[in-house]
Chain A
Amino acid sequence: MSTLIQTDRFALSETERSAIEHEMHHYEDPRAASIEALKIVQKARGWVPDGAADAIGAILGIPASDVEGVATFYSQIFRQPVGRHIIRVCDSMTCFIGGHESILDAIGQQLGIAPGQTTADGRFTLIPVCCLGNCDKAPALMIDDDTFGDVRADGVAALLEAYP
């Protein structure tokens, strides 16, 4: 039996609901709004709890399993609680050559977390990402919506400081 299933009840807020309904009308087939709906929930809550699949499915008129399929397909839809800030460290070819591992090590030393983990204080979550389109400034990383290039291990601490 699966133990990963949360049993607490999930209800969309009125804002989320109306945002999804608004988004849905941009498409001929409401199914097409699945990703946007998940992003709306994630924006409001930081992540997408299990019950959201049912709730979104009910609005879009599609099975919950289809919503869940989309939600689990995309690595940037978070299915577990994450920290206040998301650090995305690029591990694609250019950044790999450019020394992305030293960046990961520096973050690890600073925050005590490995990729996929969240700091105990819930401040940061560290995840790898496979390209930020910033290859000319490798190694690159992103914190929330801010992209940083030519990152050096000794500059990591200063970068993190800006995100309380």
Chain B
Amino acid sequence: MATIHVDGKAYEVDGADNLLHACLSLGLDVPYFCWHPALGSVGACRQCAVKQYQDENDTRGRLVMSCMTPASDKTWISIDDEEAKAFRASVVEWLMINHPHDCPVCEEGGHCHLQDMTVMTGHNQRRYRFTKRTHQNQELGPFIAHEMNRCIACYRCVRYYNDYAGGTDLGVFGAHDNVYFGRVEDGVLESEFAGNLTEVCPTGVFTDKTHSERYTRKWDMQFAPSICHNCSAGCNISPGERYGEIRRVENRFNGDVNHYFLCDRGRFGYGFVNRKDRPRQPVMMLSGMKMGVDAALDQAAALLKGRTVIGIGSPRASLESNHALRELVGAENYYTGIAAQELANLQLICQVLETGPLPTPSMREIEAHDAVFVLGEDLTQTAARLALALRQAVKGKATEIAAAAKIPEWHQAAVQNVAQQARSPLFIASVSETRLDDVATQSVQAAPQDLARLGFAVAHAIDPSAPAVSGLEPEAAALAQRIADALLAGQRPLIVSGASLGSRDVIEAAANIAQALKNREKNASISLVVPEANSMGIAMLVADDQGDKSVDAALQALTSGRGDALLVLENDLYRRAPVAAVDAALAAAKIVIAADHQITETAKKAHLVLPVGSFAESDGTLVSQEGRAQRFFQVFDPSYYDSGNLVREGWRWLHALHATRQNQPVDWTQLDQVTEACAAAHPRLAGIRGAAPKADFRIRGMKLAREPHRYSGRTAMRANINVSEPRQPQDRDSAFAFSMEGYAGSAEDRQQIPFAWSPGWNSPQAWNKFQDEVGGHLRAGDPGVRLIEPTGERNTWFAVNPAFAPEKGQWQAVPLHHLFGSEETSARAAPIQARMPEPYVALNKAEADRLAVNEGARLTLSLDGQTLHLPLRILDDLPLGVIGLPVGLAGIPAVFADARVTDIQEAAQ
């Protein structure tokens, strides 16, 4: 600790910080541009100047850049000093010389750091009256708009994009007063994390193009604390709504999870919420007849009367909705809606995490690991935000080198300069090249079985009591030894694996490495990626159930006649099981009811569709791959704009149907009751009660506002329907109000923050005001509850699997994941569709040559007896004997991991 004196007042701060960091953490306002809590200091913009004095007797002082000055003990500074203030006012005036002052038509306006800082410095008179330098803008793809004239040349964009996120196609060109931030030529920004530029850029150079199409100022949008549903990482988001549409998704700071950054699927994949073709009233699919809530419930109850209802839940639906379905159909008739092989792997993952020796790190903690082995996951495609965390983990080496040279971690340019290319060890073993290989010490590609064997060999090399792998090739054995040595040399080794290859062996190998590291008493961690937002939650929900809870078992129950009606919750069965099996089950079921927010292929074949809310219209709890239970809250009430909109939470529909069937009154009128019932019924999920404050939570007696206090136009927004303004919708389910009335500030500690705003801070940098220290954690504690802490009771080894041995004329299908396209709901958003690859089949170059087929050739192949027609994509590093298929794209079978492929040939023209 150090004592610093700011304008005559003494404060205790961390002496390892710089003055800007320390002052902001104390809540003192110092303007800044180039500094960012996640990017450190470079001292480029000169905006954060303060006056520093030798000691208490020094009255002259000198100007210093607070971001470049350590907050060492007995530092005397003044922020309010007249000379410092005048200097800062000049700096912002210079930065703004060429700025177009186009705030009224700029999409950054209202959440603009440049606006905030300009107001803070008091620069309110423009003196420059000459021609401004102008630029041509670039077309950067479907996500991000470019308006270079607004640039103040703070360099944050390239520092984030290149140095933080590992991008290679954004550069800075030119010199002196004519610098240009962009690509060498027009084209899509390639990084999967490009969307963060919209928040990192302090002004409107990079803005959200998807927001632009239905633009609304930040102060005119309604927000709620939400959780991204597009993968298992559990990033916290802040979706903004106006007129019943989601307008944008902004990052929501969670110091344990995503802190300042999201991936582009999470940020730009929300479009499915706004689709016109969503079901918004209950509808009888055959006749197209729409009906009201009560009529639909009566109809559903009548259809299901006297029948045995099979309920299929979903890993993309909340725990509450799945639990309500389970209550409705009974535990014996509830199925997870997950394919058998995947469910078995999920249960194995649960078991490894619950009873294994090592803890799962939070996403933030991943950044602090110094030796990493990624086994079988293409993280950038399957849980992208984790890949960004690993990009920070490998920088641990740079921080270490810098520390040895007495350079503080925040001194970003110096750290980078002294460390050059030095990185902490990261080994990646995957089926095909990954977008993280560029920072890997070594990456290797092999078939899933051989990846697992490499993993087993690493475990054995770490701890000889782990089973040895016989018959391993010498290079693989040497690599395993290198990986083992690197993990053992690290202070905090991490093993990352997961379910994306559908390979049990890979997960078991990762578990053995974890056990081996524990036996060698390493302070290690294990992180296992699961396929979907609530895969982990669903696996925990059925962990104590008897029998097969897979979708295959559910379909079997229908075809065998054990059940004669089907109720599907937020699930498209055609994405879970072979077409023939789904067709047979749907044909066997006398009644099919689908409750979903999209008209899926399954919903098209239902008799009745109940319109359930997406994440934007409902509340619930998800469990991330970390085992963190997090609550997402309803962003808006869709019936406010259209009383005919009967979208309700899944659990609300299902519970009401349950009550109607039993002719009983509805018990659950509030989310908390469902959460409580779910927690009570499943001891593993007991912790979800504490995932967020209950509906009766108040601050100073107030609910929490979903809308900023400047929210405008409320009295007029329904005037086309009725000039009388109705009462605002009431939210019984949460502590949030559908209103600007309620608590919206930063002075009181709180975890659940719909939107970041504090007086004078309208941009995402307002998160400063909610944190214990800037860039640290929320003062009220980061949201969410960890449900899994390992007991370490299982200490047996998993046995080594046999090597991959393809037979002649046969290939093994392996899943290739795509950030844009493999996830069901985001793939329904137009901007994501613009980035999705066309379906393909991938082969190694040597195999393609042997078959005498070229890139793009149309191939036919037989996969477990099913014939597929797909164009060829040649992947040089794909192992021999496997073919890769893109998960989730049109025409690709639902389940194919491990499937046998034969008869590959060029299709007749």
Mark out the residues of chain A between 55 and 85 whose CB falls within 8 Å of any chain B CB in the assembled complex: 63-66, 68-69, 72-75
Looking across the interface, which residue of chain A has its beta carbon closest to that of B169?
A: A65
B162-191 vs A, CB cutoff 8 Å, 1 = contact: the mask equals 000000111111110000100111100000
A50 to B184, CA, bound (A): 9
Q: Does B782 contact A (CB under 8 A)?
A: no
Asked if A69 and B185 sit within 8 Å, CB to CB, the answer is no
Asked if B172 and A69 sit within 8 Å, CB to CB, the answer is yes
Query: Which of A1-9, A11-19, A131-139 contacts the other chain?
Result: A1-9
Asked if A63 and B169 sit within 8 Å, CB to CB, the answer is yes
B175 touches which of A5, A50, A66, A73 (Cβ 8 Å)? A73
Q: Does B131 contact A (CB under 8 A)?
A: no
List B contacts of A74 (CB < 8 A). 175
Q: Does A54 contact B (CB under 8 A)?
A: yes
Pairs A–B under 8 Å by Cβ, sample size 12: A2-B138, A3-B136, A5-B185, A50-B185, A54-B184, A63-B169, A64-B184, A66-B171, A69-B171, A72-B173, A73-B174, A73-B175
List A contacts of B169 (CB < 8 A). 63-65
B139 touches which of A1, A66, A69 (Cβ 8 Å)? A1
Q: Does B59 contact A (CB under 8 A)?
A: no
List A contacts of B174 (CB < 8 A). 72-73
List A contacts of B720 (CB < 8 A). none
Chain B residues with CB under 8 Å of chain A are: 136, 138-139, 168-175, 180, 183-186, 420-421
Q: Does A40 contact B (CB under 8 A)?
A: no
Q: Does A29 contact B (CB under 8 A)?
A: yes
Q: Does A90 contact B (CB under 8 A)?
A: no
Looking across the interface, which residue of chain A has its beta carbon closest to that of B175?
A: A73
Asked if A72 and B170 sit within 8 Å, CB to CB, the answer is no
Asked if B136 and A4 sit within 8 Å, CB to CB, the answer is yes
List A contacts of B139 (CB < 8 A). 1
A5 to chain B, nearest CB (A): 5
A1 to B184, CA, bound (A): 13
Mark out the residues of chain A between 21 and 35 whose CB falls within 8 Å of any chain B CB in the assembled complex: 29
B102 to chain A, nearest CB (A): 20
List B contacts of A50 (CB < 8 A). 184-185
A73 to B138, CA, bound (A): 19
Q: Does A53 contact B (CB under 8 A)?
A: yes
| Extra inter-chain contacts (20) besides given A1-B136, A64-B169, A72-B175, CB under 8 Å | A1-B186, A2-B136, A2-B138, A2-B186, A4-B136, A5-B185, A5-B186, A29-B421, A50-B184, A64-B184, A65-B168, A65-B184, A66-B171, A68-B171, A69-B173, A72-B173, A72-B174, A73-B174, A73-B175, A75-B175
Range class of the A interface residue count: 10 to 19
List A contacts of B171 (CB < 8 A). 63, 65-66, 68-69
A105 to B888, CA, bound (A): 69
Candidate in A29, A53, A69, A74 with the most chain B CB atoms within 10 angstroms: A69
Looking across the interface, which residue of chain B has its beta carbon closest to that of A54?
A: B184
Looking across the interface, which residue of chain A has its beta carbon closest to that of B180?
A: A72
Closest A-B pairs by Cβ, 10 of them: A65-B171, A63-B168, A72-B173, A69-B171, A73-B175, A72-B174, A5-B185, A68-B184, A64-B184, A2-B136
A69 to B183, CA, bound (A): 10
A2 touches which of B172, B175, B185 (Cβ 8 Å)? B185
A73 to B176, CA, bound (A): 8
List B contacts of A1 (CB < 8 A). 136, 138-139, 186
A3 to B136, CA, bound (A): 9
B183 touches which of A4, A29, A65, A66 (Cβ 8 Å)? A65
List A contacts of B175 (CB < 8 A). 72-75
A72 to B170, CA, bound (A): 14
A75 to B180, CA, bound (A): 15
A94 to chain B, nearest CB (A): 21
A53 touches which of B136, B138, B172, B184 (Cβ 8 Å)? B184
List B contacts of A66 (CB < 8 A). 171
Looking across the interface, which residue of chain B has its beta carbon closest to that of A63?
A: B168
List B contacts of A69 (CB < 8 A). 171-173
B131 to chain A, nearest CB (A): 17
Looking across the interface, which residue of chain B has its beta carbon closest to that of A69?
A: B171
Looking across the interface, which residue of chain A has its beta carbon closest to that of B178?
A: A72
B173 touches which of A5, A68, A75 (Cβ 8 Å)? A68
B494 to chain A, nearest CB (A): 28
B144 to chain A, nearest CB (A): 15
List A contacts of B180 (CB < 8 A). 72
A89-106 vs B, CB cutoff 8 Å, 1 = contact: the mask equals 000000000000000000
A66 to B173, CA, bound (A): 9
List A contacts of B170 (CB < 8 A). 65
A49 to B173, CA, bound (A): 15
A36 to B792, CA, bound (A): 59
A64 to B171, CA, bound (A): 9
Candidate in A3, A64, A65, A75 with the most chain B CB atoms within 10 angstroms: A65
B267 to chain A, nearest CB (A): 23
Looking across the interface, which residue of chain B has its beta carbon closest to that of A2?
A: B136
A83 to B183, CA, bound (A): 29
A63 to B420, CA, bound (A): 16
Looking across the interface, which residue of chain B has its beta carbon closest to that of A66?
A: B171
Candidate in B168, B186, B421 with the most chain A CB atoms within 10 angstroms: B168
A63 to B184, CA, bound (A): 10
A66 to chain B, nearest CB (A): 6
A29 to chain B, nearest CB (A): 7
A54 to B185, CA, bound (A): 11
Looking across the interface, which residue of chain A has its beta carbon closest to that of B171?
A: A65
A53 to B169, CA, bound (A): 12
A103 to B169, CA, bound (A): 43
Candidate in A1, A54, A68, A73 with the most chain B CB atoms within 10 angstroms: A68
B583 to chain A, nearest CB (A): 48
A73 to B168, CA, bound (A): 18
A91 to chain B, nearest CB (A): 15
A67 to B392, CA, bound (A): 25
List A contacts of B136 (CB < 8 A). 1-4
B775 to chain A, nearest CB (A): 28
A50 to B180, CA, bound (A): 15
B484 to chain A, nearest CB (A): 29
Looking across the interface, which residue of chain B has its beta carbon closest to that of A28?
A: B420
A52 to chain B, nearest CB (A): 11
A18 to B184, CA, bound (A): 25
Asked if A29 and B184 sit within 8 Å, CB to CB, the answer is no
A127 to B111, CA, bound (A): 43
List A contacts of B173 (CB < 8 A). 68-69, 72-73
A4 to chain B, nearest CB (A): 7
List B contacts of A5 (CB < 8 A). 185-186
B848 to chain A, nearest CB (A): 24
Looking across the interface, which residue of chain A has its beta carbon closest to that of B173?
A: A72
A64 to B186, CA, bound (A): 13
Looking across the interface, which residue of chain B has its beta carbon closest to that of A3?
A: B136
Looking across the interface, which residue of chain B has its beta carbon closest to that of A7?
A: B185
List A contacts of B420 (CB < 8 A). 29
A2 to B148, CA, bound (A): 12
A65 to chain B, nearest CB (A): 3
Looking across the interface, which residue of chain A has its beta carbon closest to that of B138?
A: A2
